[in-house]
């Protein structure tokens, strides 16, 4: 009997397992209830809620246990109150449920009411929330911050199994050697010196193959992920809120990002642009502002503005640092939001230094993307690509910026063909449109799927 065959089998299994962690999902298949819940959730809730991060409303992951633990009230269970909240959030608030009352102030905007949702619908939605995101929509799917459902335990289990199999394979190899020796001994033949398993040729070949496949798999997976950072929300040097500026105060995007309409790149506004307003808005108004003077002072420290006098420092770069530091330390000492030592340090660290915003969107170098082409010629709203920026307290990358994302839109979107003189050269299309043979011209038809349009 040839025992080594079993070791090949083990290697095959091994290989399957090494590749498997990337393919296997931790979840059981979703039930009918979960699928029904997903539908309701996507159409009613997803515009304001994500499962695993704040959007307009809070993240809904674990919401059932939050309410079960904290929202019992008036002899009614927290879970029951939760369902009543979803239907009409004012119901538990008016009933004085303390959890609901505190939740009510979570965001300046209020949650929509859903009087039409039946009890079964509510159960379905809760089942979906408890289950978590179903599958992955992939790079060409609907946009929205990525939600993955990898369960780390599955990966651990698979790695555990893998180690077990390696051990089994080694034992089998050993047994196979022993058996061979026994056979030879019986036949009275000469017994070759035992070969340790790591010198065994077949073992080496199999190991090499495994490593090659593993590295290949990792490289391909890594390459596909390049530049895809959907949902990326780095911490910024100043807690600048788009919600406060573009949303509540209705400042036009292009007031700050003025080059988006005219050139290839959009810009991050310079500190001077901030000063147009923040010469006056200093964060010392006791009624307004979440951070008091703490954040706005960083602008002053960067550009050299003395908030006491309302004037710029003369020759800022050559001022004694201790003098500047003392001015900001005193300025911060009566902030409405009390400045800790760390807050003061953060402001002083900004003295005479440009504000270094962390870049969020970043296409790979081999891709050509032009803002004005889309904003001005294409007439596309910023929000189509960047999401509901005016509701983002902290800005994040809304779209995947994958090739599939660009291409999908080019397939579906019509160009403003008749309004744009640039397209007068496409005479055939104009004629066919006049004759009614062609209703519209998509970006695809003007060559928007050609590789060299997007790639250098
Ligand atoms: C227009 C935006 C919006 C929509 C649509 C919306 N919500 Fe909300 N939701 C909010 C906001 C905002 C809050 C926080 C409460 C507040 O500030 O009014 C909230 C709070 C909640 C809470 C309490 C969260 C907690 O941590 O206790 C639950 C539960 C909830 N929403 C469920 C839902 C469900 C389910 C749907 C869909 C049927 C939905 N919401 C649709 C905006 C929305
Ligand atoms: C008052 C000035 C101001 C206004 C108005 C404003 N922004 Fe911004 N925007 C900034 C600043 C400052 C940053 C860098 C800090 C950050 O990312 O939050 C930024 C960053 C961004 C980024 C991310 C850039 C990157 O790093 O990839 C996008 C996208 C963006 N803004 C879009 C918008 C849109 C869309 C609007 C209108 C709805 C808007 N902004 C309105 C000041 C502004
Ligand atoms: C067109 C006017 C305008 C411009 C330009 C502007 N802001 Fe503001 N900013 C405001 C207003 C209005 C407030 C709200 C003040 C309040 O609520 O008291 C504010 C508040 C803030 C706050 C305080 C938030 C808080 O809750 O405490 C910060 C920080 C801030 N802005 C940073 C910036 C930065 C950085 C820039 C430049 C990239 C900038 N602003 C440009 C109008 C502006
Ligand atoms: C067709 C989709 C699309 C539209 C519409 C769009 N953007 Fe962008 N935006 C992008 C992409 C893609 C990037 C990344 C570009 C890169 O890395 O070169 C980006 C990057 C940015 C950046 C970072 C700086 C830069 O150019 O890399 C800012 C700021 C920005 N966009 C603001 C805006 C504003 C403001 C508007 C509306 C006036 C707008 N965008 C409209 C897709 C879009
Ligand atoms: C929301 C839809 C949308 C998205 C997303 C989008 N585009 Fe476009 N794109 C357009 C439209 C509309 C036009 C046509 C503009 C015009 O009228 O000239 C266009 C035109 C172009 C053109 C010029 C094509 C030609 O034939 O002249 C290039 C290049 C381009 N886009 C690159 C990109 C890249 C790269 C991305 C992804 C990073 C992207 N686009 C994402 C809608 C989109
Ligand atoms: C509408 C714009 C657009 C067109 C047309 C386009 N690409 Fe891309 N391509 C992109 C973007 C954006 C990326 C970056 C994707 C990322 O970072 O995930 C990309 C990435 C790639 C990559 C790198 C692999 C990867 O996933 O990152 C290759 C290879 C590629 N494109 C080949 C092509 C070929 C071949 C064609 C013609 C058939 C083509 N592209 C047409 C926008 C485009």
Q: Is the pLDDT of residue 357 over 70?
A: yes
Task: Give the residue-averaged pLDDT of 238-247.
Answer: 95
Which of 328, 349, 370 marks a domain boundary?
349
Of ligand 1's atoms, which has the minimum distance to the CA of residue 129? 35
**CB-count exposure of residue 43 (10 Å: 0-12, 13-18, 19+):** exposed
Whether residue 277 sits in one domain with residue 328:
yes
Find the mean pLDDT for residues 423-447. Answer: 78
Reference 158, options 29, 24, 28; nearest CA is: 24
Give the closest residue (by CA) to ligand 2 atom 11: 268
Determine which residue's CA is closest to atom 10 belonging to ligand 2.
Answer: 268
The CATH number given to whatever domain includes residue 55 is 1.10.760.10
Same domain, 193 and 335: no
Residue 80 lies in a domain: yes
Q: Are residues 82 and 111 in the same domain?
A: yes
Position 124 in a domain? yes
CA distance readout (Å), 296 to 238, 245, 281, 322, 324: 8, 13, 8, 20, 16
State whether 163 and 118 are in the same domain: no
Has residue 148 got a pLDDT over 50? no
How many C-beta atoms lie closer than 10 Å to residue 435's C-beta?
8
Each residue of 286-301: b (16+ CB within 10 Å) or e?
A: eeebebbbbbbbbbbb
CA 343 to chain centroid: 28
Within-domain flag for 366: no
Confidence band for 427, pLDDT divided at 50, 70 and 90? confident
pLDDT bin (cut points 50, 70, 90) of residue 114 is: confident
Q: Which residue has the higher pLDDT, 101 or 419?
A: 101
Same-domain check for residues 167 and 213:
yes
Q: Are 301 and 344 in the same domain?
A: yes
Same domain, 11 and 48: no
In a domain, 412, yes or no: yes
The pLDDT score that the predictor gives to residue 227 is 45
Which residues constitute the domain of residue 427? Answer: 402-456
Q: Is residue 133 scored above 90 in pLDDT?
A: no
In a domain, 242, yes or no: no
What's the pLDDT at 149? 37
Answer yes or no: do 157 and 97 share one domain. Answer: no
Asked whether the predicted pLDDT for residue 309 surpasses 60, the reply is yes
13 Cα to the center of ligand 2, angstroms = 50
- 225-to-87, 155, 230, 447, 451 alpha-carbon distances in Å: 39, 20, 10, 26, 20
Band of pLDDT at residue 16, cut at 50, 70 and 90: low
Per the structure, how many domains does the chain have? 4
Per-residue pLDDT averaged across 259-280, rounded? 92
Relative orientation angle of helices 78-87 and 63-70, to the nearest 10 degrees: 120
In this prediction, residue 287 carries a pLDDT of 83
Domain boundary among 285, 318, 349: 349
pLDDT (0 to 100) of residue 30: 85
Residue 384 lies in a domain: no
pLDDT at residue 140, rounded to an integer: 32
The pLDDT assigned to 85 comes to: 95
Q: What is the pLDDT of residues 379-401, one digit of tens each?
A: 899 999 999 999 999 999 999 89
* Ligand 5 atom with the shortest distance to the CA of 399: 5
Ligand 2: which residue has its CA nearest to atom 25?
A: 360
When mean pLDDT is compared over 212-226, 269-283, 439-453, the highest value belongs to: 269-283
Residue 99 belongs to some domain of the structure: yes
Calculate how far, in angstroms, residue 447's C-alpha sits from the geometric centre of ligand 6: 15
Does residue 137 form part of some domain?
A: no
pLDDT at residue 5 in the model? 54
Residues 339, 305, single domain; the answer is yes
Q: Are residues 121 and 165 in the same domain?
A: no
In this structure, are 344 and 288 located in the same domain?
yes
pLDDT at site 19 = 53
Rounded Cα distance between 143 and 230, Å, is 9
Q: Are residues 122 and 167 in the same domain?
A: no
């Amino acid at each position: 009997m040839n025992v080594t065959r079993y070791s090949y089998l083990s290697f095959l299994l091994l290989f399957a397992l090494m590749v498997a962690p990337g393919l296997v999902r931790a979840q059981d298949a979703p039930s009918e209830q979960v699928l029904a819940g997903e539908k309701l959730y996507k159409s009613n809730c997803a515009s304001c809620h994500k499962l695993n991060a704040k959007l307009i409303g809070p993240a809904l992951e674990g919401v059932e246990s939050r309410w079960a633990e904290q929202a019992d009230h008036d002899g009614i269970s927290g879970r029951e109150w939760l369902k009543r909240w979803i239907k009409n959030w004012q119901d538990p608030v008016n009933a004085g449920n303390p959890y609901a009352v505190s939740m009510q102030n979570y965001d300046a905007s209020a949650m929509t009411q859903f009087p039409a949702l039946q009890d079964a619908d509510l159960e379905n939605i809760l089942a979906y929330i408890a289950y978590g995101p179903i599958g992955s929509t992939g790079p060409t799917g609907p946009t929205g911050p990525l939600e993955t459902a990898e369960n780390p335990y599955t990966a651990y289990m698979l790695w555990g199994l893998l180690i077990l199999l390696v051990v089994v394979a080694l034992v089998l190899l050993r047994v196979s050697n022993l058996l061979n020796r026994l056979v030879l001994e019986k036949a009275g033949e000469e017994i070759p010196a035992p070969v340790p398993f790591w010198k065994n040729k077949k073992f080496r070949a199999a190991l090499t193959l495994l490593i090659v496949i593993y590295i290949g798999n990792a490289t391909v997976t890594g390459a596909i992920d390049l530049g895809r950072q959907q949902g990326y929300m780095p911490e910024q040097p100043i807690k600048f809120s788009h919600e406060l500026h573009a949303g509540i105060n209705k400042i036009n995007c292009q007031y700050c990002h003025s080059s988006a309409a005219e050139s290839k790149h959009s810009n991050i506004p310079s500190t001077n642009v901030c000063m147009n307003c923040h010469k006056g808005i200093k964060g010392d108004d006791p009624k307004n502002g979440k951070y008091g003077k703490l954040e706005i002072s960083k602008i002053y420290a960067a550009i050299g503005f003395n908030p006491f006098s309302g004037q710029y420092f003369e020759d800022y770069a050559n001022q004694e640092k201790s003098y500047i530091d003392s001015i900001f330390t005193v300025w911060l000492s009566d902030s409405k939001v009390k400045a800790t030592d760390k807050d003061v340090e953060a402001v002083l660290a900004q003295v005479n230094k440009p504000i270094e915003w962390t870049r969020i969107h970043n296409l790979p170098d081999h891709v050509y993307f032009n803002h004005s082409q889309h904003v001005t010629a294409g007439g596309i709203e910023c929000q189509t690509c960047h999401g509901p920026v005016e509701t983002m307290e902290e800005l994040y990358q809304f779209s995947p910026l994958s090739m599939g994302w660009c291409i999908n839109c080019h397939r579906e979107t019509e160009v403003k063909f008749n309004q744009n003189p640039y397209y007068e050269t496409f005479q055939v299309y104009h004629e066919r449109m006049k004759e009614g043979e062609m209703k519209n011209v998509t970006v695809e038809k003007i060559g928007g799927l050609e590789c060299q349009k997007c790639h250098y």
